[in-house]
Amino acid sequence: MNPPQIQDYPTWYKGYIDLVNGDVLSVLENQAKKFADFIQQNADKADYAYAPGKWTIKEMFGHIIDTERIMVFRLTSFARAEKAALPGFDENDYVTNANFKDRTLDSLCEEFVWLRKSNMYLLNSLNEEELNRSGNANGNPITVKSLVYILAGHVMHHQNVIVERYL
């Protein structure tokens, strides 16, 4: 699958999409275990936030899980030719209203692995026509293919943040 074109998504997603090199489906498949392993290797920092008001690693991981669910809902909706515009979401409110700090790192890792593995069945089933469909989310047009790339790039972005600011 070739990367989406710049007109296929809002410009603020470019940073995520540009992080993805190679076959995006392979990247997504490999991320399931590799990202969970990366988080587990840094379990001693799970409750650490690098500055006041910043998320802990567990909260960031919860945000990644929530975002995966939301992006896959959007992706599924648009692949199935949904015409209704979908709402945006405030990631800070989602983290504030979740209990990620109270969860174990093991439970978050297991949830991410199973969520991604489940999502891979859908992603691997999409044909070219479905990948090129688009819809409106958060007031902006976006293609299904763009959302596939955003899933991979979002995890890569946050892994980079963890390496740069938490470790």
CATH of the domain at 137: 1.20.120.450
* Domain annotation covers residue 2: no
* Domain annotation covers residue 118: yes
- Indicate the helix (H) or strand (E) that contains 153: helix 144-161
Domain holding 55, by residue range, is 23-166
CA Rg, the chain, in Å? 16
* Domain annotation covers residue 61: yes
Q: Residue 130: how many CB atoms within 10 A of its CB? A: 17
Residue with tokens 């949830």: 111
Q: Model confidence over 112-164: pLDDT tens digits?
A: 999 999 999 999 999 999 999 999 999 999 999 999 999 999 999 999 999 99
Give the pLDDT band of residue 90 (cuts 50, 70, 90): very high
Q: What does the alpha-carbon distance between residue 127 and residue 145 come to, in Å, rounded to a whole number?
A: 10
Q: Among residues 162, 143, 165, which one has the least CA distance to residue 43?
A: 162
- What's the N-to-C CA distance of the chain in angstroms? 34
Q: What does the alpha-carbon distance between residue 74 and residue 86 come to, in Å, rounded to a whole number?
A: 7
* Domain annotation covers residue 7: no
Q: DSSP string spanning 85-98?
A: PBP---HHHHHHTS
Both tokens of residue 31?
């991320």
* Domain annotation covers residue 39: yes
Q: How many structural domains are present in the chain?
A: 1
Cβ neighbours of residue 95 under 8 Å, at least 6 residues apart?
A: 55, 59, 62, 63, 66
* Domain annotation covers residue 157: yes
Q: Model confidence over 26-80: pLDDT tens digits?
A: 999 999 999 999 999 999 999 999 999 999 999 999 999 999 999 999 999 999 9
Task: Give the pLDDT confidence score for residue 69 in this predicted structure.
Answer: 98
pTM score of the predicted model:
0.95
Task: Give the pLDDT confidence score for residue 75 in this predicted structure.
Answer: 98
* Domain annotation covers residue 51: yes
- Across 86-94, average pLDDT: 97
Task: Give the pLDDT confidence score for residue 89 in this predicted structure.
Answer: 96
* Domain annotation covers residue 9: no
